[in-house]
Structure 1
């Protein structure tokens, strides 16, 4: 038990610092390439901070633990909205009139709805995975075209970080993420079995929140620095990549069964909270700080339901 707990703790630490290094290097590189802030948050930061989820889900699928593979993605998406944006809102209100955000929210909602539809069949098959990856590729092409159009007027002037330092941060971050993901899956699985807790609950809570630590750190720091494009774009981009990229790649390699409980409850919860935040970010001029308390309370309720 002690060794398993230490593995989980070490895995979380490596994931957190690995994600931080990866994001710092990627953001500096993107700034040098003149990519606008929202697009940085949606793609490089959002996808970069999802690397832990990617590695954990792949490791879990190969280890024959589909509940953790799927639960990690679904739980991370729910935590990204309720926990991470909830905490970011406590730091500062989030402005919502960001150019192009509504289109990205539509992609996030469509991804969540597509997963809910696929999950009704009881598994994410190989061809589902290929479809998800194709949709992600189309989204990235669209983002690249949009970035080229907006870059001149929206982008920062560049980064003072040396190129070798950027690449070093990215490489070190990826290495830490690989080892951290392996430690976390091994430790969490052993703890789940030892305490009589199902793989699904562990994947939806401990593993999901643990792999969301890079998103948490990035969005909260961005809120402190008054950079809402990064705070919001990080969550939206991460949620898109979690479904289309992570589940897509995992299922393309090995089909992933979806537990009935997850298809009937956890995935619908993810869809509902995705819809709720999309409404807040498009209808209101500014999401007030008190809304963060509501999001955190909703996440507390969700975790309570899982463990009761």
Structure 2
């Protein structure tokens, strides 16, 4: 039965990613926004919805290892697994201006998550600060990107806007399929993992994190195959920012959770190292090529292997 859940979940994720890509890119063109911005906001945050549902559910169920491990594990998987795989499919160019805006937010949010965890709990004060920071980031990203788009369109012939309603329908349907698929997948994965007597923190860092990150994985891979590398990169950056500021922030605000000691001692620093690698690769050559993608994938395999050996 659990394997059927996994198969159905993967099918829904694939269909949802395709619909989301079509709808989001159409909206971006109509509003004059770049693929990077739509990836950072609508696609990045939308595909992170399964993490939000999973973390809140785990917090209310009294499973902080799953709630926090889901976010930390997802951020690690987004960079090492998803971005690595997307870069292997097609090298990812990085827009310098957009990344100069987003990189500091990604780094600071990662450091903030680690710093708050050192207190032993993600409490309501931290939740309020995280949510406020997310709102400020979204406003800044929209304003700066809109101004840049308007400046570039001054001497460009006007194009007839595409109908907005079909694009919104595609986008909403894609998000719904992604969320439903992730729920089926995670339910099946947790059922199998529980039968194997794996610790809840390990489940959160691996099974749940990878399961809830599959929307990002499928979306980024489809985006790379469709030649939308900016969308794939923005999806990962936006998801990681939202995972910390939005998901951890909302979880801490609604139902404060303890920070698992194992994550404080080890996994937080893997997340920090992965984030540093993303920033270094992106800034050194303004692109993430196949060599860097392979390096990221190898690091993820080593990380998962270490967790499995120390379970």
| TM-score using structure 1 length | 0.90
Residue 2 (structure 2) pairs with residue 4 (structure 1): yes
Which whole-Å CA distance do the structure 1 matches of 2:38 and 2:108 have between them?
21
How much has 1:178 moved relative to structure 2?
Answer: 4.5
Residue 87 (structure 2) pairs with residue 86 (structure 1): no
SS at match of 2:32: coil
Deviates more, 1:129-138 or 1:117-126: 117-126
Which whole-Å CA distance do the structure 1 matches of 2:60 and 2:152 have between them?
42
Residues 218, 98 of structure 1: alpha-carbon distance in 2 compared, 3 angstrom cutoff: farther
Which residue of structure 1 aligns with residue 27 of structure 2? 29
Which whole-Å CA distance do the structure 2 matches of 1:23 and 1:224 have between them?
11
Deviates more, 1:113-122 or 1:86-95: 86-95
Which whole-Å CA distance do the structure 2 matches of 1:91 and 1:177 have between them?
22
Which of these residues, 47, 54, 61, is aligned with residue 45 of structure 2? 47
Residues 217, 60 of structure 1: alpha-carbon distance in 2 compared, 3 angstrom cutoff: same
Residues 284, 54 of structure 1: alpha-carbon distance in 2 compared, 3 angstrom cutoff: same
Deviates more, 1:287-296 or 1:257-266: 287-296
| TM-score using structure 2 length | 0.89
Which whole-Å CA distance do the structure 1 matches of 2:94 and 2:152 have between them?
17
Which whole-Å CA distance do the structure 1 matches of 2:22 and 2:159 have between them?
13
Task: Mark the runs of 5 or more structure 2 residues left unpaired by the alignment.
Answer: none
Which whole-Å CA distance do the structure 2 matches of 1:229 and 1:150 have between them?
16
Residues 74, 12 of structure 1: alpha-carbon distance in 2 compared, 3 angstrom cutoff: farther
How much has 1:181 moved relative to structure 2?
Answer: 4.5
SS at match of 1:196: coil
* Contact 1:19-1:177 at 8 Å conserved across structures: yes
Residue 137 (structure 2) pairs with residue 136 (structure 1): no
Which whole-Å CA distance do the structure 2 matches of 1:125 and 1:40 have between them?
31
For residues 5-38 of structure 1, what are the alpha-carbon distances to aligned partners after superposition, in whole Å with 9 as ceiling and x for unaligned?
A: 3334434443443354344323322321211222
Which whole-Å CA distance do the structure 2 matches of 1:96 and 1:21 have between them?
24
Which residue of structure 1 aligns with residue 292 of structure 2? 291
Which whole-Å CA distance do the structure 2 matches of 1:201 and 1:50 have between them?
20
How much has 1:93 moved relative to structure 2?
Answer: 2.4
Number of positions where the alignment pairs a residue of Structure 1 with one of Structure 2: 306
Which residue of structure 1 aligns with residue 261 of structure 2? 260
Which residue of structure 2 aligns with residue 119 of structure 1? 117
Q: How does 1:196-235 map to 2 (within 5 A)?
A: 196-235=197-236
Residues 256, 188 of structure 1: alpha-carbon distance in 2 compared, 3 angstrom cutoff: farther
Which whole-Å CA distance do the structure 1 matches of 2:199 and 2:19 have between them?
33
Which residue of structure 2 aligns with residue 307 of structure 1? 308
Task: Mark the runs of 5 or more structure 1 residues left unpaired by the alignment.
Answer: none
Which of these residues, 50, 55, 75, is aligned with residue 77 of structure 1? 75
For residues 271-302 of structure 1, what are the alpha-carbon distances to aligned partners after superposition, in whole Å with 9 as ceiling and x for unaligned?
A: 11101110111122443321211111100000
Which whole-Å CA distance do the structure 2 matches of 1:279 and 1:57 have between them?
30
Deviates more, 1:37-46 or 1:296-305: 37-46
For residues 104-143 of structure 1, what are the alpha-carbon distances to aligned partners after superposition, in whole Å with 9 as ceiling and x for unaligned?
A: 1111011111000111122211111111100000001101
Residue 266 (structure 2) pairs with residue 271 (structure 1): no
Which whole-Å CA distance do the structure 2 matches of 1:16 and 1:159 have between them?
31
Note the aligned Cα RMSD (angstroms). 2.4
Residues 172, 37 of structure 1: alpha-carbon distance in 2 compared, 3 angstrom cutoff: closer
Residues 187, 61 of structure 1: alpha-carbon distance in 2 compared, 3 angstrom cutoff: farther
How much has 1:207 moved relative to structure 2?
Answer: 1.8
Residues 46, 270 of structure 1: alpha-carbon distance in 2 compared, 3 angstrom cutoff: same
Q: How does 1:175-194 map to 2 (within 5 A)?
A: 175-194=176-195
